[in-house]
Structure 1
Amino acid sequence: MSHEKRIRRAALLVLAGLLVQLFTTLFWSPLTFVVFTAVGVPLVLLGVGFYVVTVWKILEERKAL
């Protein structure tokens, strides 16, 4: 998979997580808090993790590390 596709996938995960977090804050209740923490936060963290791994691989390929 190309680096651009991996970065795009990471951005989509972050965007999905942020959208879940945004919509759950509109109607704050115990259930929406659970959705916020159980779905939104992991999606953002996965997206950031994929982005960091991709950038790390790019830097290793270019021998910048």
Structure 2
Amino acid sequence: MIVGVSEFYYIFWFIMSVLAASLAAVAIFYAFSLLQDIKQSLENIEHLLQGKAAKPKPKGQKRK
């Protein structure tokens, strides 16, 4: 009888679930950031269509 295999199995799946949860959190954060950029771009397009100058990006949200 092999002792300890089931413990390693549970530890492995616990680590995998933690990694999956952190990956999901990063994906959600990235999606919200992308949505903010899309919203800003749409607002700039709307201002351009109205003949106004594009709104400047708020400080702290500059792209590299």
When the two structures are superposed, what TM-score results if normalisation uses the length of structure 2? 0.50
What is the TM-score normalised by the length of structure 1?
0.49
Asked which structure has the greater RCO (Cα within 8 Å, sep 6+), the reply is 1
Structure with the higher helix share, 1 or 2 = 1
Greater Rg by CA: 2
